[in-house]
Amino acid sequence: MKKFGTLLVILIAGLAVRSGAQNFPMDSTTHKIDFVEVVQAPSLTKSAGFDRALVVLHRMYKQADTKISVKDKDNGIIVLNGFTQLVIKGKNGVNMNVPELVLYKLTISFKNGKYRYEFTDFVQNRAGTPNYIEKWIEHNVPGDKFYGPSDHIQENLDYLYADIEKKISDLKTGMLGDKSVEKQDW
């Protein structure tokens, strides 16, 4: 009975570490990472939202035109193929860029009074072989030997999550529009 109690505590601790460390939203049907939200924007028309999003994307991404694969104003959709350059802390404490980029797809859809963003299809290509980020999450549990310490999986997941959250914040803030400053006579 003592062994069962110890095993249960280890199992619960392992699940707590995994669930606490990973906040990635997962699509329940595809089991893929899916950052998605419908944002209410009552003052935006479909057309105005589309135009504003293009401005925001050009502020967020260098050479945004080369990353945008779909730009359909009539149907109110923009698809951008983005990437995140992961950064890890080296043994000497200096931040180093990971050579392989994490690629993703950002889709923004527009309707009158609202828009929907969706970050999906997260993959890192290592020597031409796709390495899906969901696999990192699956194997990022205590005792799993699929990845070693030199793979920096938890550090990479933390960095990726923070980067996507920043992009979401930048997108939502940008979609609010520029605040105009009224000149006051005094």
Residue 39 to residue 172: CA distance in whole angstroms = 8
Judge whether 40 lies within some domain: yes
76-95 average pLDDT score: 90
DSSP state of 40: E
Instruction: Calculate the dihedral angle through the C-alpha atoms of 28, 103, 65, 87, rounding to the nearest 10 degrees.
Output: 120
Dihedral of the alpha carbons of 146, 151, 157, 163, in degrees to the nearest 10 = -150
In a domain, 18, yes or no: no
Residue type, 86: L
Q: Is residue 13 part of a domain?
A: no
Q: Which secondary-structure segment (H or E) carries 97?
A: strand 95-97
pLDDT in tens, 139-155: 888 777 877 777 888 88
CATH number at residue 153: 3.30.530.80
Give the separation between CA 177 and CA 18, rounded to whole angstroms: 38
DSSP assignment letter at 12: H
**pLDDT band for position 179 (50/70/90)?**
low
Residues 165, 70: Cα–Cα separation, whole Å: 23
Whole-prediction pTM: 0.81
pLDDT in tens, 117-135: 999 999 998 878 898 999 9
Q: Which domain holds residue 29?
A: 24-175
Assigned domain for 11 exists: no
What's the CA dihedral at 29, 33, 82, 174 to 10 degrees?
Answer: 100
pLDDT tens digits for range 7-29: 434 444 444 344 444 589 999 99
Residue 95 has pLDDT above 60, yes or no: yes
Q: CB atoms < 10 A from the CB of 22, how many?
A: 18
pLDDT tens per residue across span 33-84:
999 999 999 999 999 999 999 999 999 999 999 999 999 999 999 999 999 9
Domain count, the chain: 1
